[in-house]
Amino acid sequence: MDITQEQLENAGYDVPAAPRDAWRNYDEHNPVPRYFDFDWLSSRHPDLYHKFALSSVGLMDELNKLIDLTGLEVIDIGAGTGRTTLGAARKAKKVTAIDPFGSVLHFGRALAQEAGFSNVEYIRAHCDNLPFPDNSFDASICAWAFISHAEAWRVLKPGVHLIDLLPVPGALCGELTPMLAKVFPHIVTEIAPAEQLSETCPAADFIIEESSWNGVPVTAPIPVHDFTCVANYADCQEAAAIVGRLYGPEARRYILEKQRPTLAWRLRIVINRVKK
């Protein structure tokens, strides 16, 4: 018998990963873990989350055009299965990947070893309590995760980059956002203009004239880069299976009716310089 939702919730962060591809068999009307429950989904089914997280690849590809991580010691906070970690490790001197879920770290660690990276370390920790001294890292990255910016700021050296990788407001689910806002209005509460959710929306750069970011001191102005990433899952049936398990049957039907194995994401890169 598979683990129940109650067992998941009672287990805290100590949740074993299910066998690979176990996510394909579930009750569509009462899934365990539930739709949109990304912490539990990634912990229980890290292979599913890794298949899905192509937008993180797009974020790192774009970031590497904007910032040179060569020779830097980078902390990846909320690293998940390691899409961003491995993207940073191609240039960085070392990447320390932080995540609270042991099963996710085990998955990411195995991928890094298989890919031949020797400059990656996976550490289980919570973003609110990073196990490092002040001023330890040359840059931080965080993709699609809620973090303590105060803790990230603490472990960064003065003047270095604190980088957030995230969707633009109103684009939580990429091009699926308008449809899922109708199905999950308590979760998807904002919808970006239609042109921003189009595959053809051009990149845009602007600055925020602020000297703080999420409550921590940074050097003004803050540069922001918005761009569109089209994630290609290669096979329409596979794309439908992946998004269907994460977002529900409406998302699965959307992909099948669209008959294209792609999802467009409007993404944002915020590059701060730590002020201490």
Q: Dihedrals φ, ψ of 189, to 5°?
A: -105, 0
Q: Residue ranges of the chain with pLDDT lower than 70?
A: 1, 13
Q: Dihedrals φ, ψ of 137, to 5°?
A: -125, 155
Task: Output the pTM of the full model.
Answer: 0.95
CB 59 within 8 A of CB 167: no
Could you tell me the residue ranges of all domains in the chain? 32-167+202-230+268-273
| pLDDT reported for residue 1 | 47
Q: Could you tell me the CATH superfamily of domain 32-167+202-230+268-273? A: Vaccinia Virus protein VP39 (3.40.50.150)
| pLDDT reported for residue 188 | 97
Burial readout 38-68 (b: 16 or more C-beta within 10 A, e: otherwise): ebbbbbbbbbbbbbbbbbbbbbbebbeeebe
| pLDDT reported for residue 13 | 65
The two structure tokens encoding residue 128? 């609110």
How far apart are the C-alpha atoms of 64 and 139, rounded to whole Å?
A: 13
How far apart are the C-alpha atoms of 108 and 111, rounded to whole Å?
A: 5
| pLDDT reported for residue 137 | 98
How far apart are the C-alpha atoms of 170 and 158, rounded to whole Å?
A: 33
